[in-house]
Amino acid sequence: MQHRARAVTCSLVGLLLMGCDSSDPPASTTVAVGPHNGTMIRLADEKGFVELINEPEVSDRRNPQPTAIVAYYLQADGKTPLSPAPTDVSFAIDTGPERGARGKPSSSSPVPLNAEAKPDDPSGASRFASKAGPYVLAAIRGKLFAKIGGEETSISFVAGR
């Protein structure tokens, strides 16, 4: 079921990126399924990819157990860990506009992701994880921030893509 949902999500995102009446090429952001079966997003300026997953995987969205947001930063081949590894990685969860405040911008709740290499995983050297919490990626939106080669980067993320 989860694989089918990811396939549909990737297809819809691809259609959105192409546009209906556009003769322009698709945007540079691509979404695919990564080596850990997570959402893999291309980094700006062809720097590689980041794959986002929940660990442990969420088995029941109606009654989710605490889970961590995990980001794997990968080279352009989509398999090898990005080297040097990023720094200052965090995920700012968009908590929506303040209650009763019309037209107010959304607020965000930053969640730090700490370097937690996994030696038994070929791409685990560039793995970053949050503490466990109510972070079901399929149900949240926000931005992933990191410094790559000293340059700040961010990627918007909406409900699993």
What average pLDDT does the segment 46-58 reach? Answer: 93
pLDDT of 109 reads 81
CA 69/CA 90 separation, integer angstroms: 10
What average pLDDT does the segment 113-117 reach? Answer: 97
| E-assigned strand segments in 56-140 | 68-74, 87-96, 107-112, 114-115, 127-129
Residue 23 tokens, joined:
């003769």
Mean of pLDDT over the chain:
80
pLDDT band (50, 70, 90) for residue 32? confident
Domain edges within the chain: 29-158
Is pLDDT above 50 for 95? yes
Is pLDDT above 60 for 159? yes
| E-assigned strand segments in the chain | 31-33, 39-42, 49-55, 68-74, 87-96, 107-112, 114-115, 127-129, 141-148, 151-158
CA 154 to chain centre: 10
Higher pLDDT, 100 or 86: 86
Other CB atoms within 10 Å distance of the CB of residue 124: 14
Phi and psi dihedrals of 13, rounded to 5?
Answer: -65, -40
pTM of this prediction?
0.75
Residue 103 tokens, joined:
């037209």
- With a CB cutoff of 8 Å and minimum separation 6, the contacts of 87 are 146, 147
Instruction: Looking at 19-97, list the stretches that DSSP marks H as alpha helix, in order from N- to C-terminal side.
Output: none
